[in-house]
Amino acid sequence: GKGIAVFTSGGDSQGMNAAVRAVVRMGIYLGCKVYFIREGYQGMVDGGEYIIEANWSSVSSIIHKGGTIIGSARCKDFREREGRKKAAYNLVERGITNLVVIGGDGSLTGADLFKQEWADLLDELLKDGKITPEQRKKYNHLFIAGLVGSIDNDFCGTDMTIGTDSALHRIIEATDAIVSTAYSHQRTFIMEVMGRHCGYLALVAALTSEADYVFIPEDPAAIDWPDKLCKKLMQERNVGQRLNIIIVAEGAIDRNGHPIMAEDIKKVVVDNLHQDTRITVLGHVQRGGNPSAFDRVLGSRMGAEAVMALMEADENTEPCVISLDGNQAVRLPLMECVKQTKAVAQAMADKEWEKAVQLRGKS
């Protein structure tokens, strides 16, 4: 059978374990040898005990666990060609020419580069006498399927990334809890949520928790946001509301592109309205805890589809990313999705926010 390796890379997210489990079981079911690569690309570079064969029971009782049981890392060595050469050797030695990479856009870009260099890396390994001519010939092609694991929902091409739904559950549980104490004390709370340069978590959290105000990167606040904010908060208090909730994405900015921090908002509220105001930074709580049913299903479907894609690939098949499109698992060209995701980041950096939102599409 074919050799498949699965690894998780970059920031963890809930549902990654469901994906790992599906890859292992679908792979074994189809007669493949399936390997874990522990600690992301670092494990691929280091080899040895970091690349181990998985069996049916090595993925038992993990679907409900948050994080990733095989570890994840942001790896410097793999960014160097020398690191990628070591990684190629470690894979060839074990007969692995199929990779399922679970991570964000950085991790998926790395995989694509690896694919492009693969034949050259093998030529060098042959020249160095590290691999045999038979190995060189047999393992000529590297096949890659990517799955997007991230709480941020910031990847183009997929409706939802693995982990976003669970992170939202975490956020709204926390917001609901804050609302009750805010009510008792007639307080205003500013909740900072994650998402890097993407406002998806903040926006959906605001909608689903009846927040009074939200700051997101894609719709930068007008320069007179303090006036607008105060007016809105007062309006709510004047009709009898005992509390206010403001959600701020960690990447929130104003029209000049300057960050808007929770502390800035607090100062505005306290100085102008003299409201008893507190800040809650949810932080990594959002990324932890058990995955929701949605993320377990999403990870499972995406993992199984990734193995199917690898099984059907031939030497002309480009790396793909498994995406959710209208509740269907689809295969999209990995590089196009990465390119589009980078174009969004560029548009944001150029302060072309409408363009960024359009480019991002459905996600």
Catalytic residues: 152
Consecutive H or E run containing 101: strand 96-103
Kindly state whether residue 196 participates in binding ligand F6P, applying the rule CB under 6 A. Answer: yes
The smaller minimum CB distance to ligand F6P, of residues 67 and 83, is found at 67
Beta bridge partners of 323: 330
Stretch that binds ligand F6P, among 45-53, 57-65, 119-127, 146-154 (CB under 6 A): 146-154
Under the binding rule (CB under 6 A), the answer on residue 305 touching ligand F6P is no
48 is in an annotated binding site: no
6's tokens = 């699965």
Single out the segment in contact with ligand F6P by CB under 6 A; choices: 106-114, 115-123, 148-156, 239-247: 148-156
Nearest to 26 by CA among 108, 114, 145: 145
Length of the chain equals 363
- Binding segment for ligand F6P (CB under 6 A), chosen from 135-143, 189-197, 227-235, 303-311, is 189-197
C-alpha to C-alpha distance for 217 and 247, rounded to whole angstroms: 12
Q: Are 196 and 284 in contact (CB under 8 A)?
A: no
Interacting positions 155-174 with ligand F6P (CB under 6 A): none
**DSSP for residue 221:** B
Asked if residue 9 lies in contact with residue 36, where contact means CB atoms within 8 angstroms, the answer is no
Should residue 152 be labelled a site residue for ligand F6P when binding is judged by CB under 6 A?
yes
Contact 230, 268 (CB under 8 A): yes
Instruction: For residue 141, state whether it binds ligand F6P (rule: CB under 6 A).
Output: no
Instruction: State yes or no: 151 annotated in a binding site.
Output: yes
Alpha-carbon gap, residue 248 to 250, rounded angstroms? 6
Phi, psi angle pair for 347, to nearest 5°:
-60, -40
Structure tokens at 273: 């309205």
Rule CB under 6 A: is residue 67 a binding residue for ligand F6P? no
Say whether residue 218 binds ligand F6P (CB under 6 A).
no
Q: Does 287 bind ligand F6P (CB under 6 A)?
A: yes
Q: Supply the minimum distance, in Å, between the C-beta of residue 54 and ligand F6P.
A: 26
Is 151 a residue that touches ligand F6P (CB under 6 A)?
Answer: yes
| Joined tokens for residue 86 | 């070591």
What is the DSSP secondary-structure string of 140-206? ---EEEEEEEESS---TT-S--EEHHHHHHHHHHHHHHHHHHHHHHT-EEEEEE--TT--HHHHHHH
User: Whole-number minimum distance, CB 184 to ligand F6P, in Å?
Assistant: 31
Q: Which stretch binds ligand F6P (CB under 6 A): 133-141, 149-157, 224-232, 307-315?
A: 149-157
Do residues 222 and 267 make contact, with C-beta atoms less than 8 angstroms apart?
no
Three-class SS state of 321: strand
**Residue of 195, 217, 220, 303 interacting with ligand F6P (CB under 6 A):** 195
Chosen residue from 9, 150, 153, 188 binding ligand F6P by CB under 6 A? 150
1-30 footprint of ligand F6P as x/- string (CB under 6 A)? ----------x-------------------
Binding mask 239-258 for ligand F6P (x = CB under 6 A): -----------x--------
CB 153 within 8 A of CB 287: no
Query: Can you say which residues are annotated as belonging to the binding site for ATP?
Result: 11, 74-75, 104-107
Query: Can you say which residues are annotated as belonging to the binding site?
Result: 11, 74-75, 104-107, 150-152, 187, 194-196, 250, 278, 284-287
Contact set with ligand F6P (CB under 6 A): 11, 150-152, 194-196, 250, 287
